[in-house]
């Protein structure tokens, strides 16, 4: 497989046409798509976006999930290598733990194209395309401040500590919110991106701080958990702002529940990754910097109806 | 895209030999500065200020270009990151301070640059400065060279802080004073307000 590809690339590089092997006519080869569990629709949207584009471009696909387990991810990389994948599209299971398997694939001649989450090193993956979480968090925080009327007590739900995105979103939130002396954070706790955990955390935070006026959440699943706890406690007056742009939160926004979220264009980012993989495989380069930031979009009642599966219709 | 690539290529060509060092240089307990602090120390005066001065477009020229649409103005005068998003511009100009907010932690001055009495841009004078325009308007600060988004965001904040720390403005109301400015701003739409991060801000008058 690899030899064939090199021959193909070599002949293209020499400008020889008409000698392309029959290989290209059937399938362009296998693209392996690895993400966290599809239980979170965000990751399913990534897999769907990558799968659709890869098939359009003539590749076979193999869709796998690592369940945020670095050992499982490592095994999936071995599988991709054994299957002779042309490229791997990955939303990884840990910024540090993912470096070794991606290097292993690289050594086997298989380029990796990362989406959503970064790894701690550059020069191993070909592309790392991530949402501009900092810009997105600032958008969400500006809307949160506006909704809060620039004053009152609030709590923050943090994502999983091992995930860079949890830290960067919190930093982006506070860069804005901390400018307003009238806003006071009375509790800040992780719910590990989990809806059920967020429900429990919200219940206890609400008991300890009944005076809160708002909740800013590191992602939408936690925002959904928090909103359910607030509803159960009869506190639908509390302002909740999330991050991701899920259909669940979209529906809640349209129903007057959660007030806002920030869309990460997961579907489009996954498609960009496949496009870059294709360009790399056919031209030998993506023509782009390895690490790329893609802007997020604020979702409010005004535009929520145009949101579907992590993609905003224009 | 192509232009971004060309910019990257030309920037690489210009800056060969002085590209920002990628790895955090120190991890010992006696580390003098973080990677980001070191980058700011190494580049702010020697690379960034000369780049802003060399690449700044007259504010009037830029506004006229923006009237023709953000994409065209961006392609002619701006720089955009590899993932797309905002266009970042460097500009210089003169005008009169017609208002502002010096009470806020994110203080601003409203400046009229075309003499009609209305503010055309807001100059951020800190201590809190919003946005990443100063970082993103310089082709030599590249996301790939930084460990993660947090470190890259820290760079933007550190550059903003350095820029406003260097401003020496008298206190009180500056309305009516003439000012010369140089700096960076970012736009996601041609109709967004212009929020400049100043690298140079000089009161010109006139007692």
Write the CB contacts of A124 (distance below 8 Å, at least 6 apart in sequence): A99, A102, A103, A106, A112
Q: Which of A303, A216, A291 is nearest to B144 (CA)?
A: A291
Domains of chain A, CATH where assigned: 30-130+266-294 (3.40.50.2300), 133-263 (3.40.50.2300)
pLDDT, one tens digit per residue, over A56-77 is: 999 999 999 999 999 999 999 9
Tokens of B202: 């000089």
3-class state of residue B6 by DSSP: helix
Size of interface A-B (CB pairs under 8 A): 75
Alpha-carbon distance of A223 to A265, in angstroms, equals 18
Q: Answer yes or no: is pLDDT of B28 > 70.
A: no
Q: Any idea which architecture B34-198 has in CATH?
A: Beta Barrel (2.40)
Residues of A whose CB is below 8 A from B130: 138, 176
Does A167 sit within 8 Å of B150, measured CB to CB? yes
Q: Are A122 and B86 an interchain contact pair (Cβ–Cβ within 8 Å)?
A: no
**What is the ipTM for the molecules in this complex?**
0.80
Within an 8 Å CB–CB cutoff, is residue B150 touching chain A?
A: yes
* Nearest CA distance, B204 vs chain A (angstrom): 30
Task: For residue B106, give the chain A residue with the closest CA.
Answer: A179
What are the sequence ranges of the domains in chain B? 34-198
Q: Which of B84, B156, B188 comes nearest A294 by C-beta? A: B84
In this complex, which of A95, A179, A289 lies closest to B82 when CB atoms are compared? A289
pLDDT greater at residue B17 or residue A157? A157
> How many percent of chain B have pLDDT more than 70?
83
pLDDT at B186 over 50: yes
Q: How far is B144 from chain A (nearest CA, A)?
A: 5
User: What are the chain B neighbours of A135 within 8 Å (beta carbons)?
Assistant: 85, 132
pLDDT tens for A233-292 read 999 999 999 999 999 999 999 999 999 999 999 999 999 999 999 999 999 999 999 999
Over 50: is that where the pLDDT of B17 sits?
no
Backbone phi, psi, residue B203, to 5°: -75, 130
Using alpha carbons, select from A59, A51, A102 the residue that is nearest to residue A270.
Answer: A51
pTM summary value: 0.82
């Amino acid at each position: 497989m690899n030899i064939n590809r090199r021959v193909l690339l070599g002949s293209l590089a020499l400008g020889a046409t008409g000698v392309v092997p029959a290989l290209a006519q059937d399938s362009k080869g296998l693209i392996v798509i690895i993400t966290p569990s599809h239980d979170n629709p965000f990751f399913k949207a990534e897999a769907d976006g990558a799968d659709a584009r890869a098939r359009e471009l003539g590749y076979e696909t193999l869709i796998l999930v690592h369940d945020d387990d670095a050992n499982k991810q490592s095994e999936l990389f071995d599988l991709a290598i054994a299957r002779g994948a042309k490229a791997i599209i990955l939303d990884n299971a840990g910024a540090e733990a993912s470096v070794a398997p991606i290097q292993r694939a690289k050594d086997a001649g298989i380029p990796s194209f990362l989406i959503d989450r970064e790894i701690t090193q550059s020069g191993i993956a070909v592309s790392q395309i991530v949402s501009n979480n900092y810009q997105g968090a600032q958008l969400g925080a500006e809307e949160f401040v506006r909704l809060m009327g620039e004053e009152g007590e609030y709590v923050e739900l943090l994502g999983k500590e091992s995930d860079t995105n949890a830290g960067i979103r919190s930093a982006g939130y506070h860069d804005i919110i901390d400018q307003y002396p009238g806003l006071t954070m009375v509790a800040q706790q992780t719910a590990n991106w989990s809806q059920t955990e967020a429900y429990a955390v919200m219940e206890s935070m609400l008991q300890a701080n009944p005076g809160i006026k708002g909740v800013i959440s590191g992602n939408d699943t936690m925002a959904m958990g928090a909103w359910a706890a607030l509803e159960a406690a009869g506190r639908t007056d509390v302002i909740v702002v999330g991050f991701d742009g899920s259909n669940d939160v979209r529906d809640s926004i349209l129903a007057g529940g959660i007030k806002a979220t920030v869309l990460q264009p997961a579907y489009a980012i996954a498609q960009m990754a496949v496009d870059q993989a294709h360009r790399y495989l056919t031209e030998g380069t993506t023509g782009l910097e390895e690490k790329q930031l893609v802007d997020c979009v604020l979702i409010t009642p005004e535009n929520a109806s145009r949101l579907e599966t992590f993609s905003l219709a224009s | 895209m192509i232009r971004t690539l060309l910019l990257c290529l030309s920037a690489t060509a210009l800056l060969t030999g002085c590209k920002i060092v990628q790895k955090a240089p120190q991890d010992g307990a006696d580390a003098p500065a973080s990677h980001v602090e070191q980058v700011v120390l190494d580049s702010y005066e020697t690379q960034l200020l000369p780049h802003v001065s060399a690449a700044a477009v007259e504010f009037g020229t830029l506004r006229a270009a923006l009237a023709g649409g953000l994409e065209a103005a961006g392609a002619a005068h701006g720089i955009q990151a590899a993932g797309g998003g905002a266009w970042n511009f460097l500009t210089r100009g003169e005008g009169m301070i017609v208002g502002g907010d010096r009470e806020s932690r994110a203080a601003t001055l409203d400046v009229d640059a075309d003499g009609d009495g209305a503010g055309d841009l807001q100059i951020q004078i800190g201590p809190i400065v919003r946005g990443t325009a100063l970082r993103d308007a310089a082709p030599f600060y590249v996301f790939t060279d930084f460990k993660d988004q947090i470190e890259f965001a820290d760079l933007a904040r550190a550059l903003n802080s350095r820029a406003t720390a260097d401003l020496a403005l008298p206190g009180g109301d500056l309305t009516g004073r003439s000012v010369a400015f140089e700096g960076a701003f970012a736009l996601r739409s041609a109709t967004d307000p212009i929020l400049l991060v100043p690298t140079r801000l000089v009161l010109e008058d006139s007692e």
